[in-house]
Structure 1
């Protein structure tokens, strides 16, 4: 099996999906392969089971996809300063991997988007870090080596790439936000390559 980095995300309005693909570009620039996966919608009332393969877009992540990755970029929109329930539900199903130590010492990072500048981006990244810490992963963010981190007037934090989408999720990803997504992917890829060496 070829080594790959997993980019796992949940996206409601499309911003996180776009960020996931930008991060994947950064990872691929280091010569590593990427798998992009998402998680299904959830509902408190079961109306109809989701098909195992979505009709469009990226396919759903399996525990095998997660277990066999060399590293992870994890993305979720902000939900009141926390990761979305869909992503939390996925992580709640990973006890088997935790028991096996399947993710120990694998590098990981997080990315997010919110409707406003003060929508809880940093706390959302921190909420995504929690299961990663429990799985024994190595957490990384962004450094001030990228001028876009200091210059951005929109998203981007030391905790990871982020995007301010506006209250109606109608703002496109800014140039600084794009640069930071690709930089985060590149940094993740470089760290994985160093660890593999």
Structure 2
């Protein structure tokens, strides 16, 4: 009996927008026959030496492991913007993947990125590009959002060719818009389609 191949949707979300985007990306993944989404998150990074988070989250997706990266045929990573870069918890997770880099474990797998910012020009594109860097060092193939997605040309909020994005507002007053949701779904669908072809 054949089982569906999986795409890892790995995210860090502080106020919920990136988590909502992750679920939209997962919806796009699961529009492709033969593929399922595996949702995972990363814990907060402590500012002291002691651990600050429980071993298992109180709610939502489980914490990611290196095994999740190994088992999935493609990976989408999402993070809020921190001064034009990915948030520390996501960076910390990728900093711990050296053993996989040494074994070339992720070479040839497709990867995609998504982000949310508090201001319209708060570094969406630089954050997406910064998240691509560890993927490229792992030899992954970067998947973006093509302009064949009409929403990319009409959006007044988030949405870039580098990946899906969302404008949340300084007080997170802007929910993920319908256009932003469509671009998240499009990203997930495209990632799954490309992952299946590469896995074959």
Q: Helix, strand or coil for the counterpart of 2:86? A: coil
> For the residues of structure 2 that align with 1:81 and 1:186, how far apart are their CA atoms?
26
Given that residues 46 and 52 in structure 2 are in contact (C-alpha distance below 8 angstroms), is that contact kept between their aligned partners in structure 1? Answer: no
Counterpart of 1:60 (choices 56, 60, 63) is: 63
SS in 1 for 2:179: helix
1:112 CA drift (Å): 0.2
Tell me, in whole angstroms, the C-alpha distance in 2 between the residues paired with 1:104 and 1:110: 17
1:188 to 177, 188, 191: 191
Deviations along 1:171-192, whole A, 9 cap, x unmatched?
A: 1011110100000001101111
Does 2:37 match 1:34? yes
Map residues 1-197 of structure 1 onto 2, 5 A cutoff: 3-31=5-33, 32-197=35-200
- 2:73–2:196 contact (8 Å) kept in structure 1: no
Q: Is the partner of 2:160 in helix, strand or coil?
A: coil
Cα root mean square deviation, aligned: 1.2
- Structure 1 unaligned blocks of 5 or more: none
1:76, distance to aligned residue in structure 2 (A): 0.4
SS in structure 2 at match of 1:78: strand
Partner of 1:125, secondary structure, is: helix
Distance 1:96 1:47, change over 3 A: closer
Q: What TM-score, normalized to structure 2?
A: 0.95
| Separation of aligned partners in 2, 1:149 and 1:2 | 30
Cα distance in 2 for partners of 1:66, 1:95 equals 12
Q: Cα distance, 1:51 vs. partner?
A: 2.0
Aligned length: 197
